[in-house]
Amino acid sequence: MTVPLYQAKADLLRVLGHPARIRVLELLADRERSGGQLLAEIPIEAGSLSQQLAVLRRAGLVGQRRENDGVVYSLVVPEVRGVLLAARALLEGLLGEPEAIVTDLRVPVTPHAGASVGSVASAVARRSLAG
């Protein structure tokens, strides 16, 4: 049975629906990195990072290979870069304040990053109600 395109899109967006996974993809869009390098850039516990990487690998977005004493991760689908840029442009368009988005993007992803996501969602909701 074939999955409708809208369902496949929804599944992909669910995979992208976690701040740590977005940050991993942003970092890997720049260059491949070891697990230790990712952990140094994303302030979450190693076990949590491992779980998020597993989700991205199962989705086919991230690949891994053994190198020396560790694992190196890379993007499998380079078009992910375009999705990340499109999401940023969409947020800038919705909020109308690119500098606010840039400030939010500089905040490191933490296990409790819901506050910045919530602030973006609140701003989008306020704009929708005002318009």
pLDDT of residue 48: 97
CATH for 5-130 is 1.10.10.10
Per-residue DSSP letters for 11-55? HHHHHT-SHHHHHHHHHHHH--EEHHHHHHHS-S-HHHHHHHHHH
Q: What is the mean pLDDT of residues 48-58?
A: 97
**Cα dihedral 91, 97, 101, 106 in deg (nearest 10):** 160
Give residue-wise pLDDT tens across range 72-124: 999 999 999 999 999 999 988 888 766 665 555 554 433 333 333 344 444 44
pLDDT of residue 22: 97
pLDDT of residue 121: 42
Could you tell me the pLDDT band of residue 58, with boundaries at 50, 70 and 90? Answer: very high
3-state secondary structure of 60: coil
pLDDT of residue 130: 43
**pLDDT of 38 higher than 60:** yes
Give residue-wise pLDDT tens across range 59-72: 999 999 999 889 99
| Domain chopping of the chain, boundaries | 5-130
CB 17 within 8 A of CB 61: no
